[in-house]
Amino acid sequence: MKKEHKDVLLRKCGEKNYGKLEGLDNPGLIAFLAEYVGLCNPGSVFIRTDSEDDAEYIRKKALETGEEKELRIPGHTVHFDGYYDQARDKTNTRYLLRPDEVLGSDISFIDREEGLKEIRAILKDIMAGKEMYISFFCLGPTDSEFSISAVQITDSTYVAHSEDILYRSGYEQFKRLSGADRFFRFVHSAGALENRVSRDVYNRRVYIDLEEEMVYSANTQYAGNTVGLKKLAMRLAIKRASEEGWLTEHMFVMGVHGPDKKRLTYFTGSFPSACGKTATAMLEGEKIIGDDIAYLRCKNGNIRAVNVESGIFGIIKDVSARSDPAIFKALTSPAEIIFSNVLVTTDNRPDWLGSGEPEPEEGVNFAGKWYQGRKGPDDNEILPAHKNARYTIRLESLENCDENLANPEGVKIGGVIYGGRDSDTNVPVEQSFDWAHGILTQAATIESETTAATLGKEGVRKFNLMANLDFLSIPIGRYIQNNLDIVEGIKDPPLIFHVNYFLKGKDGNYLNGIKDKHVWVRWMELRVNGEAGAVKTPTGYFPAYQDLVPLFREVLGRGYTREEYEEQFTLRIPERMDKKKRIKKIYHSKVFDTPHALMKALDDQMARLEECRKKHGDYVSPFVLEGLLQ
């Protein structure tokens, strides 16, 4: 250990905290910490190990600093971000790239040397007079092939506390590195504070250095910009996975019961925002391992997956006793939970949009004192709670948490679900012909259709392959090829499915009921285990009517008519053909390394659709195709 490193750390940490760092015996870690303690210049440094005392220290500090406040139910606290700091800052989130590095035309980046100079200037003395918190975490279960060690530097107790809930403690995991310096690094500062929130959000920066596997974040408190181990770490992990032959995916991991609950089959699922991802992962009566990010590896002839996290940072809007009973029960019971940007009522409880409770007349929210009709500094009316209000909770607080949450071997995946949102094209559920067909014609072609409520213009389709486009840190073509290659040598890969919960009929009404998705998931479980038939179509396999009737009765307690089935599962050829043309145009114009196999798969699918149209017309009833039942 270099003397200058020891001197810097010992002066700021004190003997007790410095001793915690010595116990890790990692010169690379010490050099990194000394560099950023010297640059940020905090008044003091606290080192968090895996001990409960250290975790409690941060929880108490969060209350002392005012970054969190206690609520009525024991264990519940609330945090408010600044008025202009309520979401991921896509504009100022950039990769630091060398001039010879190319990720893609839509990737936001800055020259690496220029970006490093800028962010280091911002971080210079940014923590003066404040305490720095250094925490060690593990992405994925500890002591596992899936484990990735990570160290977080922050001056925000809210960030440190959130990560303590969301991730597995990793101090002992760092010891397993045996001095190796390949770990993820995160440096964050909320910057100057005003009324306990970041003041200089105009100077907000989130910079990702793939070369050093490091993320810088400054002048922001919102967790999507500051909790480095979430989507920021996912970008680092996508690149590492690509180099090592595994996958980092924007996926839930859930268990679905078979008949009579005598079997549990595990699925992963990737959906763009507002397409039903969390609602699927949290289906009543099923099991959850994770709702957001998964690592997938080929192990012993199977695809196995783990949840990167051990908690949920979830959107709370529209969570109610009716829509999400498991989450709602957890959020209204004593447990360690951080609510962010909700409304705190006059009786000191959290309330949010779509909670199912009567809307309060007044309270306190991210804008301060709130009352009906209050307007913000931008002259917009302030809602009681923010649309992006969140909750942070340990998965173990949920009654439906699966016992394999921390299994170092992960779970065997039987099926992969890709979700999208469109009103006129895809059927509610469809199985691909095989793995490659699913990746190329379903996963790589995902679109999410906007609604009038979000953009003021309905029906705008946003391309989002694998629901992971915003977080890619490698070229798109390589990412697609990695997904194809992961099953190489596997005799029976997981089945791939596509779902669309938003299909509409001629009258403009949704053809899916809110809870119908449970039936589609149960049908998938039967397919994985060879216990349900399917109708072969030019684009994949549709459920057979006779298999859905008993599922609707068993799962939802209602009948299911031939008319409902036919309207939901009619093959809409003109719309399918238009989609394929849109997707081909995107790959031709924006992706420089599109795999040839992708274009061939799309062309082959269009040829099959055209042949079907010549025989049966533009809109083909599934009953017409029943002769191909398999």
459-482 pLDDT tens trace: 689 999 999 999 999 999 999 999
* Whether the predicted pLDDT of 630 surpasses 90: no
Give the pLDDT of residue 453: 39
Q: What is the mean pLDDT of residues 135-139?
A: 98
List of residues 6+ apart from 380 with CB closer than 8 A: none
Give the pLDDT of residue 627: 63
List of residues 6+ apart from 77 with CB closer than 8 A: 62, 63, 68, 69, 70, 71, 337, 338, 339
Over residues 266-287, the pLDDT tens digits come to 999 999 988 999 899 999 999 9
* Whether the predicted pLDDT of 503 surpasses 90: yes
> Of these residues, 13, 40, 138, 275, which one is catalytic?
275
Q: Provide the edge-to-edge strand list for the sheet that holds 311-315.
A: 69-70, 76-79, 337-340, 390-394, 311-315
Helix (H, G, I), strand (E, B) or coil at 431: strand
Give the pLDDT of residue 463: 95
Give the pLDDT of residue 454: 41
* Whether the predicted pLDDT of 456 surpasses 80: no
Q: Contact, 541 vs 535, CB < 8 A?
A: yes
The DSSP annotation for 142-168 comes to: SSSTT-EEEEEEES-HHHHHHHHHHSE
Burial of 616 (0-12, 13-18, 19+ CB in 10 A): middle
* Whether the predicted pLDDT of 628 surpasses 60: no
In DSSP terms, which residues pair with 266 in a beta bridge?
255, 413
The DSSP annotation for 188-213 comes to: EE--SEETTEES-GGG-EEEEETTTT
* Residue found under tokens 């609707």: 552
Work out the pLDDT band at 452, boundaries 50, 70, 90: very low
Share of the chain above pLDDT 70, in %: 98
Q: What is the mean pLDDT of residues 93-117?
A: 90
Over residues 165-210, the pLDDT tens digits come to 999 999 999 999 999 999 999 999 999 999 999 999 999 999 999 9
* Whether the predicted pLDDT of 5 surpasses 90: no
| Domain ranges, ordered by start, for the chain | 3-67+87-244, 248-310+405-628, 313-397
Do strands 109-111 and 131-139 pair parallel, antiparallel, or not at all (unpaired)?
A: unpaired
Give the pLDDT of residue 377: 93
* Whether the predicted pLDDT of 248 surpasses 80: yes
CATH number of 248-310+405-628: 3.90.228.20
Residues counted in the chain:
630
Work out the pLDDT band at 70, boundaries 50, 70, 90: very high
The token duo for 414 is 């039987």
Q: What is the mean pLDDT of residues 292-319?
A: 96
Share of the chain above pLDDT 90, in %: 91
CATH number of 3-67+87-244: 3.40.449.10
Q: What is the mean pLDDT of residues 574-586?
A: 97
Give the pLDDT of residue 6: 87
Please state, in angstroms and as integers, the Cα–Cα distance from residue 513 to each residue in 205, 446, 450, 504, following that order.
42, 22, 19, 11
* Residue found under tokens 């996975």: 241
**Annotated catalytic residue 298:** no
Give the pLDDT of residue 457: 59
Please state, in angstroms and as integers, the Cα–Cα distance from residue 3 to each residue in 31, 34, 60, following that order.
11, 11, 34
Give the pLDDT of residue 191: 97
* Whether the predicted pLDDT of 1 surpasses 70: no
Q: Contact, 405 vs 140, CB < 8 A?
A: no
List of residues 6+ apart from 260 with CB closer than 8 A: none
Give the pLDDT of residue 359: 87
Give the pLDDT of residue 175: 96
Give the pLDDT of residue 458: 60
Q: What is the mean pLDDT of the chain?
A: 95
The token duo for 505 is 């009929």
* Whether the predicted pLDDT of 114 surpasses 50: yes
CATH class of domain segment(s) 313-397 = mainly beta
pTM: 0.95
Work out the pLDDT band at 519, boundaries 50, 70, 90: very high
Give the pLDDT of residue 574: 98
